[in-house]
Structure 1
Amino acid sequence: MSEDLYLELLDNLFDGVYYVDRNRVITFWNKACERLTGYSKTEVMGKSCSDNILKHIDSHGRELCIKGCPLHATIEDGKMREALLYLHHKDGHRVPVHIRVSPLTDEQGNIIGGIEVFSDGTQSLQTLQELEHLKNEIFIDPLLKIGNRRYAEMIFQTRLYELNAFNVPCGVVFLDVDNFKSINDTYGHLIGDRVLLMVSRSIASALRGTDTLIRWGGYEMLIFLPNVTPAGLKTITERIRMFVESSFLMIENQKVAVTVSIGSTLLNKQDTLESLTQRMDTLLYQSKQGGKNRSTIG
């Protein structure tokens, strides 16, 4: 098989495939990489894979391009690796990907670089599946394509019934974007909308398949986490905060990033939607007063 035909086959694979040399400079970038990351071949070829491109993080929010890069480790020791990580999409949000890393060697067996193959690890949220099944835009936020406040009322009643009838616990997270007005004032509402999309997509990547993400209004979001322990609520809440903190847009070579303040609680059997949101609003206010970009659980 000729080299040109081999490269054409790689270019048309469903999975993303890219090569780097020993300095982690990208020397091949296929069409699936463009589709999954939003970055074109011309934007990345000849650049380091850590130059504001993929910026992989793990589930704890650690930036692996700075420390712990699987591709760098494979180039050093020649061992194959695989992991579930979260890459940075050009639109700013985080995308879960399953990566497989292998060394590239010359005819003498010397390592001359590495190859990473990655596939979309996104699991369709049960919320989106239900929304699609309903085929009813009355429950969908038109910008973010997630549930709206009316959908929240329906999910609340479901989770409250599960708690009272079967003792299935449910954690609830309430958050808003810190200093969002200044984003709109500085960059305009179109960029503000892109920031909200970035935030909602990064949050969705941090959630489980059974969790429900809601746009409560403006730049506030509500999340229902069924069957979660107090420890699990704390873990997921912190993951949400970290995922948003590590997301960013590049606007005319300027990095635009935001943080969120969060209030989290467990649903009580006596709760109404009003009492629940009042309790979470108080917790959110404590996070704001404490310096923002933090969570308060109560």
Structure 2
Amino acid sequence: MILSTDSFEKIIENLHDGLYFVDQDLVITYWNKAAERISGYSSQEIVGTLCTDSALINVDSEGNYIRTCPLAVAMDDGKMHESELYLRHKKGHRIPVNIKVSPLTDDNDCVVGASALIADISNQAANTLKLKELEKLALLDNLTQLGNRNFIDKEIKERLCEFKRKGTPFGILFFDIDNFKRVNDTYGHDVGDKVLKFVADTLSSSSRPFDFYGRWGGEEFIGIIRNIEQPGLEQLGCRLRRIIESSHVLEGDNKIRVTISIGATVVNITDTEKTLIKRADTLLYQSKDSGRNCITVG
């Protein structure tokens, strides 16, 4: 059976994963529906632009900008490459993706462009199940779609019981958006809400299926990180801080950037819900006193 050109086009247009092509000059020539869904950018907005444009600049797991287009690397060495990166969604938050890039050649084996296949690895299915459960229990924060304070209280109590029963460790990350009042005062509360949503989306999309993030109140968030010790908790907090620092929310022509301060602590055998939260909160304010945009572990 030989498929027609139209059939091939329908197949790639309806792939579950994002797919795009560039020519020899790194100009994007194709952007499928899944790429639109994952990135938030339409084909009309992307086709004809360079893959090195700011809209498509990725960051690595440490929050560092990747200035070299992965497709350019594949075109230079003629090899396929695979990596996990954080793609900036049009709304501003970062999405963890797996990207596979391959050179494209003509009949004479000359490189004429490259392709990229993008898979969203942000645990969307697991997060959808979490949301449904939270909605049923009326534990959802309406703005951010994260668990609210009641949910956080419930989850910490359950994790404490598990720790005392089985010895399963867990940690708390207490986040606060730095100088958030300045955002509200400068741009208005509607934009402030967008910033809160973008931070919440970044935390949620970067989580493992068995970790939870909730909005404690105002511009404060709490992460409950299961089965982790202090070094891993600090590493995770640093990565999230860098990812948020390297991202922005677009409001007209303005790129609104924020940073976060973090207090991080791991449960110990004498902890109650109150002592655990208080210790994380104290560490958070040590980060604030140290100049903000940092993490304090204790």
Which interval holds the TM-score relative to the shorter structure? Answer: over 0.9
Hey, what's the Cα distance between the residues in 2 that align with 1:102 and 1:131?
37
Task: Tell which deviates more after alignment, 86-95 or 137-146.
Answer: 137-146
Describe the superposition over 1:202-222 as per-residue Cα deviations: whole angstroms up to 9, x where unpaired. 122332221110100011000
Describe the superposition over 1:221-244 as per-residue Cα deviations: whole angstroms up to 9, x where unpaired. 001111101111111111111111
Contact 1:124 1:209 in 2 (8 A): no
Residues 1:94 and 2:94 aligned together: yes
CA distance 1:144–1:120, shift in 2 (3 Å)? same
The Cα shift of 1:7 comes to 3.5
2:79 alignment partner in structure 1: 79
1:177 alignment partner in structure 2: 177
Contact 1:160 1:269 in 2 (8 A): no
2:32 alignment partner in structure 1: 30
Task: Tell which deviates more after alignment, 50-59 or 24-33.
Answer: 50-59
Hey, what's the Cα distance between the residues in 2 that align with 1:138 and 1:269?
31
The Cα shift of 1:272 comes to 2.5
TM score, norm. by length of structure 2: 0.93
Hey, what's the Cα distance between the residues in 1 that align with 2:56 and 2:158?
38
What does 1:58-207 correspond to in 2, within 5 Å? Answer: 58-64=60-66, 66-67=67-68, 69-124=69-124, 129-133=129-133, 135-207=135-207
- Identity %, equivalent residues: 42
SS at match of 1:292: coil
TM score, norm. by length of structure 1: 0.93
Hey, what's the Cα distance between the residues in 2 that align with 1:135 and 1:294?
33
Contact 2:22 2:114 in 1 (8 A): yes
Hey, what's the Cα distance between the residues in 1 that align with 2:127 and 2:251?
31
Contact 1:54 1:87 in 2 (8 A): yes
The Cα shift of 1:28 comes to 1.0
Task: Tell which deviates more after alignment, 11-20 or 219-228.
Answer: 11-20
| Counterpart amino acid of residue 176 in structure 2 | D
SS at match of 2:76: helix
| Counterpart amino acid of residue 51 in structure 1 | D
The Cα shift of 1:245 comes to 0.9
The Cα shift of 1:8 comes to 4.2
1:49 alignment partner in structure 2: 51
| Counterpart amino acid of residue 276 in structure 2 | L
1:12 alignment partner in structure 2: 14
CA distance 1:193–1:286, shift in 2 (3 Å)? same
Structure 1 consecutive aligned stretches of length 4 or more whose deviation exceeds 3 Å:
1-9, 124-128
| Counterpart amino acid of residue 54 in structure 1 | L
Task: Tell which deviates more after alignment, 264-273 or 169-178.
Answer: 264-273
Contact 2:64 2:246 in 1 (8 A): no
Which ranges in structure 1 are unaligned for 5 or more consecutive residues?
none
1:255 alignment partner in structure 2: 255
The Cα shift of 1:62 comes to 2.4
Hey, what's the Cα distance between the residues in 2 that align with 1:36 and 1:83?
17
| Counterpart amino acid of residue 22 in structure 1 | Q
Q: Please give the root-mean-square deviation of Cα atoms over the aligned residues, in Å.
A: 1.9
Contact 2:122 2:207 in 1 (8 A): no
* Aligned pairs, number: 296
| Counterpart amino acid of residue 76 in structure 1 | D
| Counterpart amino acid of residue 253 in structure 2 | N
| Counterpart amino acid of residue 258 in structure 1 | V
Contact 1:176 1:219 in 2 (8 A): yes
Contact 1:75 1:111 in 2 (8 A): yes
| Counterpart amino acid of residue 97 in structure 2 | V
Contact 2:175 2:260 in 1 (8 A): yes
SS at match of 1:129: helix
Which ranges in structure 2 are unaligned for 5 or more consecutive residues?
none
Describe the superposition over 1:122-176 as per-residue Cα deviations: whole angstroms up to 9, x where unpaired. 2148676345235425211111111111011111111111111111111101011
Hey, what's the Cα distance between the residues in 2 that align with 1:24 and 1:92?
24
